Amino acid sequence: MAIKIMIADDHSMIREGLKSLLELEGDIQVVAEAEDGVDCLEKLKICTPDVLLLDINMPRKNGLEVLQTLKSSKSKIKVLVLTVHNEVEYLMKAVDIGVDGYILKDSESAELKKAIFSIVEGENYIQPSLIPSLNSKMIEKNRDEGKIESLTKRELEVLKLLAVGMYNKEVAEKLNISERTVKNHVSNIFKKIEVTDRTQAAVFAIRNNLIEL
């Protein structure tokens, strides 16, 4: 039985090209197409493919938002992200959400099919060329998580306020503590997260999603 695929991509030529490529050998059938994230989610209410081939850059809802919606709803549909983005941050976000596979649009057709068959069989598939960057980023993320866990609740509050640009006096007024106490907290924070100034502390907070931009 052919594997049922849905393609979600805002470029019609890419959808047509993928459909022709995937259906060449008869082991894959494209059963639906979507041109944006909202269209994709609407069509998934009446269509249940085995695999959703999902682009990241789409109007109305992007691919990561679609992925989040599907995983939050405990959907059984396997999701393979097919994207031009080789930045590891996109891959990290997709992995955090629970993507089943992730490959780049410049991949060979054989690798695309391998990814599809792998995730249908219950395996995860990340394009091999992306794995070293992912591993490096995961190590960095784990290191940061350890630093965050070392902060007290009050230090975490102070860090978040520093990251949005507050001065010590403003932090003190916001938290109803003395400016001297704030200075002590800032000194401890810098040591624990291994930074030397407020800008680096702000970058740390932003990188770890401690504040919303």
Q: Which domains does the chain have, with CATH numbers?
A: 3-134 (3.40.50.2300), 151-207 (1.10.10.10)
pLDDT of the residue at 43? 94
**Which segments of 10-106 does DSSP mark as H helices, in order?**
12-22, 37-43, 63-72, 88-97
Give residue-wise pLDDT tens across range 43-54.
999 989 999 999
Give me the residues of the chain with pLDDT under 70, please: 212-213
pLDDT of the residue at 62? 92
pLDDT of the residue at 209? 80
pTM greater than 0.85 (yes/no)? no
Give residue-wise pLDDT tens across range 127-170.
888 888 777 777 777 778 889 999 999 999 999 999 988 999 99
**Which segments of the chain does DSSP mark as H helices, in order?**
12-22, 37-43, 63-72, 88-97, 109-120, 131-150, 153-163, 168-175, 179-193, 198-207
The closest of 145, 154, 165, 164 to 189, measured between CA atoms, is 154
Q: What span, in angstroms and rounded, lies between the C-alpha atoms of 85 and 67?
A: 16
